[in-house]
């Protein structure tokens, strides 16, 4: 397949290398291309060279895999739509919810697929990517045209397993959002590893966060109980105990976080359902206050 990756960061580069290794024609669309090709080395494998920002390749794309951060989706994608064929399948792979809804109207002619992944990657330098944790990826339709793209799960599964298709991607996204709401803001504000949240002093704040999230999820029609969600959160805390969350890293390096699409999304949904979520609202306000303080420094 002809595949263009929009956002060759950690996750985009991981998929770019695996898709190219699997025999697909993969090109990259970078924010600021200085050269017409870009080399990426996955772990200690042979470096691979990719064409970059080639209009013809973009026009001929069967799939555009969008791996920018949630808050970058709109700015990155809208300028490309004029160049894309409306048969191109748009696959969004980022944390958080609400970013695709922001551009939903502009995407109505395209098949749109949403993805959530627990694969982990990092870029130690511009031309290197490390696969730091194996995980699972779920794909599912965002719109009616997207429902016809089930075959993509098989294509992606041959590339970087395990990949599953789900007709109910919203439930998968909410489950990931719930875990992100519990772990990300707290580890960011405490500047600690995920595993530190298992300490007794965090059990009360986590209980409030998870209780509120489960109430909002119930109103959204997502079947979940507090105890189920609570045990999932603690499983992830244990499984990723040595990791720093992406929001911890973003706050540490004074980069914009994805809070608007994680806790912010939850708070917006809570407001729609007239549910009070003081624990999550307080985390949201504090992260926004810190982000704002960088701009006024
Ligand atoms: N890394 C992981 O292990 C992991 C795991 C699961 C989920 N995720 C999620 O996946 C998403 C991507 O994460 P990431 O870690 O890969 O982030 P990242 O390394 O920051 O990658 C984002 C990439 O998008 C590029 N970009 C931003 N705006 C662009 C534009 N207008 N045009 C072209 N490229 C643009 C960035 O380029 P610049 O450097 O030029 O800004 C960067 O290379 C996030 O939602 C994250 O939460 C990540």
Name the DSSP class of 75.
H
User: What is the per-residue burial (b if ≥16 Cβ within 10 Å, else e) of 165-195?
Assistant: bbeebbbbbbbbbbbbbbbbbbbbbeebbbe
Which residue segment(s) compose the domain that 217 sits in? 171-295
Q: Do 119 and 235 sit in the same domain of this protein?
A: no
The string of pLDDT tens digits covering residues 157-189 is 999 999 999 999 999 999 999 999 999 999 999
Res. 39: pLDDT tops 80: yes
Res. 212: pLDDT tops 80: yes
Q: Do 22 and 115 sit in the same domain of this protein?
A: yes
Confidence band for 296, pLDDT divided at 50, 70 and 90: confident
Domain final position from 167, 195, 227? 167
Q: Which CATH number fits the domain that encloses residue 205?
A: 1.10.1040.10
Res. 297: pLDDT tops 80: no
pLDDT of the residue at 215? 97
Q: Do 221 and 197 sit in the same domain of this protein?
A: yes
Q: Do 16 and 131 sit in the same domain of this protein?
A: yes
Q: Do 230 and 291 sit in the same domain of this protein?
A: yes
Q: Do 22 and 63 sit in the same domain of this protein?
A: yes
Q: Do 273 and 128 sit in the same domain of this protein?
A: no
DSSP 233-290: HHHHHHHTTTPPPHHHHHHHTT---SGGGTHHHHHHHHHHTT---HHHHHHHHHHHHH
Res. 35: pLDDT tops 80: no
Tokens describing residue 207: 């209980």
Q: Do 190 and 49 sit in the same domain of this protein?
A: no
Q: Do 79 and 95 sit in the same domain of this protein?
A: yes
pLDDT of the residue at 188? 98
Known catalytic residue at 176: yes
pLDDT of the residue at 265? 98
Mean pLDDT confidence for 226-255: 97
User: In total, how many domains does the chain have?
Assistant: 2
pLDDT of the residue at 232? 97
Relative orientation angle of helices 10-21 and 151-159, to the nearest 10 degrees: 90
Domain final position from 167, 195, 221? 167
Q: Do 202 and 137 sit in the same domain of this protein?
A: no
Q: Do 75 and 157 sit in the same domain of this protein?
A: yes
Ligand 1 within 6 A of CB of 31: yes
Q: Do 121 and 193 sit in the same domain of this protein?
A: no
How much of the chain, in percent, has pLDDT values that exceed 90?
97
Distance in Å, CA 72 to ligand 1 centroid: 8
Ligand 1 within 6 A of CB of 76: yes
Choose among 144, 121, 139, 141: nearest CA to 131.
121
The string of pLDDT tens digits covering residues 98-128 is 999 999 999 999 999 999 999 999 999 999 9
Mutation to probe ligand 1, out of 27, 68, 115, 247 (largest number of atoms < 8 A from CB): 68
Tokens 């699972």 found at: 136
Confidence band for 36, pLDDT divided at 50, 70 and 90: confident
Mean pLDDT confidence for 56-68: 98
Which residue among the candidates 176, 241, 269, 274 is catalytic per the annotation? 176
pLDDT of the residue at 122? 96
pLDDT of the residue at 285? 98
Domain final position from 103, 138, 167? 167
pLDDT of the residue at 30? 95
Q: Which CATH number fits the domain that encloses residue 162?
A: 3.40.50.720
């Amino acid at each position: 397949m002809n595949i263009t990756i929009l956002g060759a960061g950690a996750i985009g580069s991981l998929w770019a290398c695996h898709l190219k290794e699997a025999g697909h024609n993969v090109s990259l669309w970078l924010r600021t291309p200085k050269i017409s090709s870009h080399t990426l080395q996955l772990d200690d494998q042979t470096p691979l060279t990719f064409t970059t920002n080639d209009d013809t390749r973009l026009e001929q794309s069967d799939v555009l895999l969008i791996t920018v951060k949630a808050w970058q989706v709109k700015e990155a994608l809208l300028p490309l739509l004029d160049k894309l064929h409306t048969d191109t399948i748009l696959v969004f792979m980022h944390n958080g919810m609400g970013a695709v809804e922001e551009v939903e109207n502009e995407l109505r002619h395209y098949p749109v697929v949403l993805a959530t992944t627990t694969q982990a990657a990092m870029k130690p330098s511009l031309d290197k990517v490390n696969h730091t944790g194996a995980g699972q990826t779920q794909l599912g339709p965002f719109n009616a045209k997207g429902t016809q793209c089930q075959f993509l799960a098989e294509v992606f599964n041959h590339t970087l397993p395990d990949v599953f298709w789900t007709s109910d991607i919203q439930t998968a996204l909410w489950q990931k959002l719930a875990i992100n709401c519990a772990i990300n803001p707290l580890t960011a504000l405490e500047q600690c590893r995920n595993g530190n949240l298992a300490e007794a002093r965090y059990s009360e704040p986590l209980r409030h966060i998870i209780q509120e999230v489960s109430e909002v999820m119930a109103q959204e029609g997502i079947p979940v109980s507090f105890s189920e969600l609570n045990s999932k959160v603690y499983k992830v805390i244990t499984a990723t105990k040595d990791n720093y969350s992406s929001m911890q890293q973003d706050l540490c390096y004074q980069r914009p976080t994805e809070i608007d699409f994680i806790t912010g999304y939850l708070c917006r949904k809570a407001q729609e359902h007239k549910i009070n979520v003081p624990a999550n609202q307080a985390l949201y306000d504090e992260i926004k206050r810190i982000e704002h303080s960088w701009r006024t420094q």
